[in-house]
A and B are shown apart, each in its own frame.
Chain A
Amino acid sequence: MTARVEVFVQLKDGMLDPQGKTLEHALEALGYSGVENVRVGKWITFAVEGGCREEIAGRVDEMCRRLLANTVIERFTYKLLEDGE
């Protein structure tokens, strides 16, 4: 099967995100009040072939740990979408 993969990488909770902070201030300056806790992350998409869903999930998990996220400072989640979804 081929799966489309969406990986989300974000700084761990509690890690200062200066980029998010700056956006928060900019939104406030534009008049959007009540905006809190802006965090900037990464959204990575790709297609991957594999035997079954579990096998693909295992490989994607490994890709995230080894390269796509730095687990010292970041956490990640991912979604597998089969063709047609």
Chain B
Amino acid sequence: MSGVPIGIVRFPGTNCDQDVFDAVAAIDGALPVWLWHKETALGGVRGIVLAGGFAYGDYLRAGAIARFSPIMERVIAFARSGGPVLGICNGFQILTEAGLLPGALMRNAGLSFVCREQWLRVDSTDTPFTRHFRPRQLVRFPVAHGEGNYVADDETLDLLEGEGRVVFRYVDEAGEATPLANPNGSARNIAGIADERGNVVGLMPHPDRAMSLLVGSEDGREVFRGLLEAAA
């Protein structure tokens, strides 16, 4: 096997690791590599994905314990040096707990776990993961989470919007960010955000589950293609 090594972090309780592995493997030129949470080196990977699941059983708060795993120190350093890091679902929660992305993810406003196909609008194409989309393109990724309600203070939300760091928004089929299209009560329908430089992105929906028309959408492929290009 050869290709650009992309690390997939596994914590106890991660459960979308194989989906992400397959998603990365589906992109020509990318080589998925496991990273166990106890490792203290990244083994030369050029990009990192934090997959979904329930790391450490979501004890205390989703992502709160995972954030202090040995590997996270390396992930944080990698992110700060400009390396591409993608956090999906629980991975997004871990990135906020680690302070790599602002805000927090709270229990869904409706209290229930939501699992459904979701329309998203790409509001920033200025990240490695979204550069293959058109501005404001509508894409379809599934959502599956109980704690995806994105919150931050108004100042932070204004800053994110002002700097074009809201990457994905929950929308209806017409591309409108309505309350009805919002599955979890997230502030301003925010589904995904980027850090200042754009190399760190977290989102609640699952591009890793949108890799084939057989399951309803292959829009996720572009996310992983972008990741590979940024890593190469």
Contact = CB atoms under 8 A, between A and B. Distances in A.
A73 B109 contact: no
Given A15-B151, A68-B60, A73 B104 contact: yes
A42 B109 CA distance: 19
Interface of B: 60-61, 64, 68, 96-97, 102-104, 106-111, 151-152, 185
B64 A18 contact: no
Interface string A45-85: 00000000000000000000001101011000000000000
Contacts, number: 33
Nearest to B106: A73
Interface of A: 11, 15-16, 18-19, 22, 42, 67-68, 70, 72-73
Main secondary structure of the interface of A (DSSP, over half): mixed
Contacts of A19: 107, 111
B110 A67 contact: no
Contacts of A72: 96, 102-104, 151-152
A67 B64 contact: yes
Contacts of A42: 60
